Amino acid sequence: MVKEKVEICVYGAEVICASCVNLPSSKETYDWLEAAVSRKFPDQPFDLSYIDIHNPPEDLEKKQFAQRVIEEDLFYPVVVIKGEIVGEGNPKLKRIYEELEKYGYQPKETP
């Protein structure tokens, strides 16, 4: 049982980070993540937000984290759940799923 609806934030930019040349773009990662999480945790609510690090929303927390991505030269996309970085550059689904399960998300049983 989901304890609380979780927001998954994907921080990135239109330009692929220099260290991530052969990896998907931040937007492609966002789309892939939305499909993967929806399949793994069907009928369980979550929010997925894409934050452009060069044009963040007015939300102070998101704006500050976007600045941190730039200042600390983090590999983007950076995937964040409740303030915890769960993926950077080439995020791993297993790590993201583990974090969601901490909040009561139940994976779909595979036959």
Over its length of 111 residues, how does the chain's per-residue pLDDT go in tens digits? Answer: 767 789 999 999 987 766 666 778 889 999 999 999 999 999 999 999 999 999 999 999 999 999 999 999 998 899 999 999 999 988 999 999 999 999 999 998 766
Buried/exposed 76-106: b ≥16 CB within 10 Å, e otherwise = bbbbbbeeebbbbeebeeeebbebbeeeebe
Q: Per CATH, the architecture of 6-102 is what?
A: 3-Layer(aba) Sandwich (3.40)
Q: Tell me if the pTM is above 0.85.
A: yes
How far, in Å, CA of 31 to CA of 49, rounded?
10
